[in-house]
């Protein structure tokens, strides 16, 4: 059986334990806007889809000052609508910077206080999304910047429902994720009662929004953890291209597209179907902080890296494809090399993660890279902040990750170090707030 690496390619991580231990349409999208990629369900997806690659024009951006070189698009004035059928930050083009955070409710805080916080947060984000200052706790960090495609997404952790007396409204899809082989999860950097994703094309704009929301939450909810990530800045390439992750792989080729048949059923919760009515039009979000063992990975020759992934590193084309093929060339899992072996090795990431190998399971990924300096042993504390939106993690993330944990050659170069699962309510109607369908 063809394998992608031999024992000399195994990554070394001295601190890790041994393996086996612990209904909707695209909001605001048109076919003209979508330049993105088509789908497969991957967990890290290096070279095949961990970072969502909905590469599209920034909507509502006035032409003129501040435009990207060669595009005429303005990064600063670009806006993403806050109100809509689905929350912002799911379908829109991925921003260059992200702040992720989770909050825990203070002791004794009830449903009324959470409702008031969500109303306050929604009013604030609606103002920031159009470039207006916050109506309270404005700190002027981003005073002279535009909204820069600011998009904020809110999610509810499992603990929120019990603490607010809404246990009977907790979605079945929020059942805890199972333990996966070789997970080394830090509980202090995962879960949480309230989750916030803040994306923007300017780091100060994202940090400003987080700081304002944090101060507005005082007395109701306290910050549990915070993470920062980045992706390619719009305009960094001469033409729109799928970005690369810290392994150097083209990352985002295979992602479900809003113009594909069945897209909404993969990403958004439909009314009925065993999920509560308040979540219809919403989604579930799986977060994983995945450290890449970059020293071990970079010690591999490029051809071995390609066999681990199943794609050429230079252009993202699948192994076995013609020389002039590109990243969107369909993968031929039956293709053979000159010696008769499988062109895409049996444990290559794109083979193990392919929908055909996982009952058609798919997720919409919006991954961001992170680099937080060095660990005690001198290795990089760097990797992927994996975010995946899906209609039900029990049929999306969980079966795919189980398959990858058992047979993905890439897994020896990764460490899953934090995890979170959140119910993402539908978007706020005009004049309303996120979570209104649950809190009334």
* CA–CA separation, 144 and 140 (whole Å): 8
Domain annotation covers residue 14: no
Number of Cα atoms under 13 Å in the Cβ half of residue 58:
30
68-105 tens-digit pLDDT: 443 435 899 999 999 999 999 999 989 999 999 999 99
Indicate the pLDDT class of residue 183, thresholds 50, 70 and 90: very high
Percentage of the chain with pLDDT > 90?
74
CA distance readout (Å), 376 to 15, 51, 83, 297: 10, 28, 45, 19
Q: Which residues pair with 225 in a beta bridge?
A: 102
What pLDDT is recorded for position 15?
44
What backbone torsions phi and psi does residue 318 show, to the nearest 5 degrees? -65, 145
The closest of 97, 46, 1, 10 to 250, measured between CA atoms, is 46
> Which tokens in the block code for residue 171?
């979605």
CA distances from 279 to 158, 162, 223, 268, 273 (A): 14, 17, 25, 9, 11
Other C-beta atoms closer than 10 Å to the C-beta of 198 total 25
Q: Report H helices in 299-396.
A: 302-309, 349-352
Q: Assess contact for 171 and 422: CB atoms under 8 A.
A: no
**In the prediction, which pLDDT does 242 show?**
84
Residue 381 in any domain: the answer is yes
Residue 19 lies in a domain: no
pTM greater than 0.75: yes
pLDDT digit string (tens) for 310-335? 999 999 999 999 999 998 899 999 99
Cα angle vertex 422, ends 20, 81, to 5°? 140
Domain span holding position 210: 42-439
Given this model, what pLDDT does residue 3 score? 31
Which two three-digit tokens encode residue 309? 């992934």
Residue range 28-51, pLDDT digits in tens: 433 223 333 333 333 444 333 333
State the Cα–Cα distance between residues 254 and 345, nearest whole angstrom.
18
68 within some domain = yes
> Domain for residue 6, yes or no?
no
Number of domains in the chain: 1
Contacts of 170 (CB under 8 A, 6+ apart): 158, 161, 162, 276
Q: How far is residue 279's CA from residue 286's CA, in Å, rounded to a whole number?
A: 16
122, part of any domain: yes
Strand blocks (E) in 193-282: 194-200, 221-230
Q: What integer best gives the mean pLDDT of the chain?
A: 86
Instruction: Tell me the catalytic residues.
Output: 251
Asked if residue 133 belongs to a domain, the reply is yes
Residue 33 domain-assigned? no
Cα distances from 86 to residues 274, 316, 325, in angstroms, run 20, 31, 36
Structure tokens at 271: 């009314």
Residues 367, 49 contacting (CB under 8 angstroms):
no
Q: If you average pLDDT over residues 286-301, what whole number do you get?
A: 98
**98 near 228, Cβ under 8 Å?**
yes
**pLDDT(198) > 50:** yes
Host H or E run for residue 116: helix 111-128
SS3 169: helix
Per-residue pLDDT, averaged over 373-390, amounts to 98
């Amino acid at each position: 059986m063809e394998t992608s690496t031999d024992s000399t390619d195994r990554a070394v991580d001295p601190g890790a334990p041994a393996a086996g231990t612990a209904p909707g349409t695209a909001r605001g999208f048109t076919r003209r806007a979508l330049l993105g990629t088509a789908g497969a369900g991957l967990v890290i997806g290096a070279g095949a889809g961990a970072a969502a690659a909905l590469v599209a024009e920034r909507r509502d951006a006035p032409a003129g000052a501040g435009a990207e070189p060669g595009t005429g698009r303005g990064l600063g004035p670009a806006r993403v609508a806050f109100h809509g059928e689905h929350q912002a930050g799911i379908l829109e083009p991925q921003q260059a910077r992200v702040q992720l955070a989770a909050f825990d409710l203070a002791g004794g805080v009830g449903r009324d206080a959470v409702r008031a916080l969500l109303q306050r947060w929604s009013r604030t984000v609606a103002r920031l999304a159009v470039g207006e200052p916050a109506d309270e706790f404005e700190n002027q960090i981003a005073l002279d910047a535009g909204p820069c495609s600011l998009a904020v997404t809110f999610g509810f952790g499992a603990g929120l429902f019990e603490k607010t007396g809404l246990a009977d409204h907790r979605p079945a899809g929020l059942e805890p994720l199972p333990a996966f082989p070789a997970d080394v999860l830090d509980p202090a950097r995962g879960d949480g009662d309230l989750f916030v994703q803040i994306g923007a094309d300017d780091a100060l704009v994202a940090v400003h929004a987080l700081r304002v929301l944090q101060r507005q939450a005082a007395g109701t909810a306290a910050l549990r953890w915070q993470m920062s990530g980045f992706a390619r800045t719009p305009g960094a390439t001469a033409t729109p291209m799928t970005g690369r992750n810290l392994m150097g792989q083209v990352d985002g080729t295979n992602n479900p597209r809003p113009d594909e048949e069945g897209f909404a059923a993969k990403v958004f919760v439909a009314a009925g179907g065993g999920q509560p009515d308040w979540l219809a039009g919403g989604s579930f979000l799986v977060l994983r902080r995945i450290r890449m063992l970059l020293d071990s990975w970079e010690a591999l020759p490029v051809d071995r890296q390609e066999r681990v992934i199943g794609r050429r590193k230079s252009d993202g084309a699948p192994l076995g494809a013609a020389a002039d093929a590109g990243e969107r060339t369909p993968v031929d899992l039956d293709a053979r090399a000159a010696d008769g072996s499988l062109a895409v090795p049996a444990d290559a990431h794109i083979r193990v993660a392919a929908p055909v190998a996982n009952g058609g399971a798919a997720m919409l990924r919006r991954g961001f890279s992170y680099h937080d300096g060095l660990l005690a042993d001198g290795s990089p504390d760097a990797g992927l902040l994996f975010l995946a939106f899906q209609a039900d993690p029990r049929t999306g993330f969980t079966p795919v990750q189980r398959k990858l944990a058992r047979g993905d050659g890439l897994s020896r170069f990764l460490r899953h170090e934090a995890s979170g699962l959140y119910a993402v309510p539908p978007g706020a109607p005009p004049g309303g707030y996120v979570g209104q369908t649950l809190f009334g």
